[in-house]
Each structure stands twice: as structure tokens, then as C-alpha cells.
Chains A and B, each alone.
Chain A
């Protein structure tokens, strides 16, 4: 394991009865990066992350997290990692500050939980029972619990599932802040947008296997996909005007709706300049850039099932 490597996984395999959850997985996570494991439900994301956390026993394979073997040295490893689990809870009738106080007592070198209450905006609910918290507040509490031992690596499993878009954005900011403190973050998500916005590198999984692993930008570039500009027009336009633009590769017109596409990023500027120069009134203009979702579709031939 190199000095900059936080996690290495070699030939990880885990089966449940006749179902192979993950098969022959090998990858490594660098220190201080945000590493995303993405894929549809049932792809093997949670099984993978729980093997790293020492909660599940792999049938085969070699794992090192911060130099520890997660299954053998689970309690020593637990001092150095923080986890938020997809399926877990704390007692319904425990108050927010009591939960933080309790978890503080489990570790040798805890941080001051009052700081975490502030950072995660939990002050207004510090005396509220866990069962009375909103989904976003619960997840913020779980983030706080995962940070209480000042861990080197933090694992987040489907952190934003079930949250509304506003709460989700708030959580993204918090994850970035955790990472900016120099902590390695490993997260799973089935939201491609989340992975694209947060992660330095993403590992796309399907049916228990890695189908791609790279930075979101590189994965999208590798698609060599088209940018699209779509708009509606009032009055007559000539298809040739657009066909003569060097960046335009395809044109389609359906009634008053026009779509032009091409691989060059200057496409949008060219199209808008032309419309302005010809004095054409257009409205409802929007663009479509290739994203991680397209990468997934290109690699698997199917849409990710949300």
C-alpha cells in the first residue's frame, strides 16, 4: 500500500446463498479524495462499503483500510473510521445531545461534540428526541456521529436518499467540508448527479462488478457524446443557415421546435450568434450536456433505476 493510499481492495467477492453480490472487485482509494461508488439498487454498493467497514465478511479477497484488515481488526479500525450506514438507527427516545454524548464515550480521542452540533446546524434540535427529527436532521446527526472520533476515513452509504432537493444540497456542502478537513470520503449513491458534483473519482458498478472507474470529467469525455441546443422559433428559418455552421453536426426540426447538436463545446455560442445575427425571435432555449447518467447508459445499455 502506497503512502497516499487509504484503502486497497483485491479480488473482493461476497455471495448470499446463490446470489453473487460482488464479484472479483479490485480498486484503491487515495487519501483525501472523495471516492464515489455509484450504480443502481442491487449493484453491490452497500455490500462493498460494508466489507470495507468490517460489518460484512467477504467470501474471498484482500482488504486493507488504513493498514487494518477490517474483519480481523474491526475494533481498532473503528477508532479511525467514521460510518453512516444505509440501514441503522439510534434509540427512538434518545435526545440529539445525549446520542452525541454517548458515542463520545466509545472512543479514545473524541472531538468536542458541541462543535459538531454547531457545524451541522443541530443546535435548534439538541434537546429533541431522535424519533421527532426530520429526514435531513437525522442524516446530519448521523454525519455528526460519524465524525465524533475525528476519523481519517469516513464512509457514507446513500446519505441523501429520501431527502428533498434542498436538504440534499445542504448535505453535499457538508460532505465537501468534511473532505476539506483532510478526511478521505467514500460514499455510495444511486444519484448520478450527486456523484458527478461531489466525487473526485467514481466507480460505476452494475451486477456486482466494476464497469468504469475514473474522474467524472474523464468518464464523460470518454463518451465522445454530443452537446445539444434546443429552442423554439417564431417565423421562418432555413435549415441551411445552421448546417453551414462548422460546429453543427445534426439538425432536427419538429414543427417550431429545433434541435442542433455537435461534439464541439462552442456549439451553443455559434447557434446563439447566428440567431441574433439573423434577427430570429427564439424562446425556450435550453442545452443538454452529456453527464454521468449518459455514461451509465452507454456502458450498460439501460437507464439507472431510481
Chain B
């Protein structure tokens, strides 16, 4: 317990000292918000059911932050630790891998949450964002989506040996996924074929789920998304527990 607290605290400090991770988690989503919010504004539109562009973008950008943390941060952090033989030094102590992974999950979850809070605060203050759902229901959906994506990220983190490879692999999954899952460009304006293909990306389910509860739909209206995310969480956990290596 003592080591979990210490490790979590140190990992949080290290995350804070790493400009690249901070930028992608905290700043990049804000940039998107300001650029597209500046272009399209937030006037109610019929195509969005009476909401504005910013209103519908916030849950999508939240999904994007989850994808950044889950895919890029987890895999790059773990691959860096492995490549620099930091894990090897840990292996020579009584520290258990479970404590290490738990500390990482806590830190990345806190940072992702911080990214989401910054995004919502900026949308509210600058664009007068409207929110018609339940905060608790949205927080729950956010938590499930995070755990599901982090556990997918740890599959990558377990397989990849170097930070450079982790960056290349996670980015090459990340970019097509945020473009084709509705996380940046709404799927509603995409052609039918792309909407069909979007179903292969796990992020699509996060976007659908977050958007639904954001606009007040109940969890029971999203059983498919919830089932997919829980399944991904369990699969990710099982695979990453099997493939974890100190060196």
C-alpha cells in the first residue's frame, strides 16, 4: 500500500515533468475546441437536434482524450521504462507488477480526468456550452471508457519494447481511429460505408456512449456499447497480465 501511494505520487510528478504527454492530454483537446469552436460557433442547429457545434463536440473530444491516454500515454510510458531498463531495476526489488500497473492506471486516469475537466470548463466559459444529461451518469460512462481503453493500451505496452516503436504504432492506430470514429468529425455527416467501417474501432463505442449520456439518454439505451467496452476491458486485462515483462 505504502509503495502504491509513493509510486503513484512519483509517477504523477514524472507525468507532469514530461511536456509531450501534458500537451497531448491537456492542451491539444483545448486547441481543437478553440479552432473548431471559433470557426463554427455554438449556435443551435437543427442537424444537431437543437444543439450547437461545441455542445456535440465536447463528448467527442472527451473520447479523443481517452484514446490519447489509453493508447499513446500508456504504451509510450511503459515502453520507455522498459527500453531504459527502469523496469529491470524494479525487478530487482520486492515491488509487484500489479502495484506498478495500478499506479500507472491511477495517474493516467487522473490526468485524463483533468483533461476532460479543462475541456468542459473552457467550453462552458468561452462558448456557453449546454449540457442536458446527468453528471453522474456521464462520469460513470467516462470511467468505464477509460478502464476499457487503458487495458487495451496495456496490451500494446506489454508487446512493444522501445519508445519510438510505441509512438509509431500507437499514432498509426490513433489517427485513423479519431478521424473515423466520430471523435473529431461527427459520424452523422459521414457516408454510409464509413459509418459501417467505423464499427470496427473501439473508440466508436466510446463516442456513441459518451454522446448518448451527454444528451440525457440512459445507460440502458447503450447496452451494446457497454457490453463491447466491458469485453474489451476484460480481454485487455487478461492479455496484458499474460504478456507483461520486466525486460
A contact residues vs B (CB 8 Å cutoff): 53-55, 75-76, 78-79, 83, 85, 87-94, 98, 101-108, 145
Contacts and interface: CB of A to CB of B under 8 A. Distances in A.
30 contacts: A55-B88, A55-B92, A75-B96, A78-B92, A79-B94, A83-B92, A85-B85, A85-B89, A87-B88, A89-B84, A89-B86, A91-B10, A91-B81, A93-B14, A93-B17, A94-B10, A94-B14, A98-B13, A101-B6, A101-B10, A102-B6, A102-B7, A102-B10, A104-B6, A105-B5, A105-B7, A106-B3, A106-B95, A108-B94, A145-B89
B88 to A, nearest CB: 5
Contacts of B81: 91
A113 to B, nearest CB: 12
Interface of B: 2-3, 5-7, 10, 13-14, 17-18, 81, 84-86, 88-89, 91-96
B3 A105 contact: yes
A297 to B, nearest CB: 34
Nearest to A82: B92
Contact of B2 (A55, A83, A105): A105
A106 B93 contact: yes
Given A55-B92, A75-B96, A105-B5, 9 more contacts: A54-B92, A83-B92, A90-B89, A92-B84, A102-B7, A102-B10, A105-B3, A106-B3, A106-B95
Contacts of B84: 89, 91-92
A94 to B, nearest CB: 7
A54 B95 CA distance: 14
A108 B95 CA distance: 11
A55 B91 contact: yes
B95 A89 contact: no
B94 A75 contact: yes
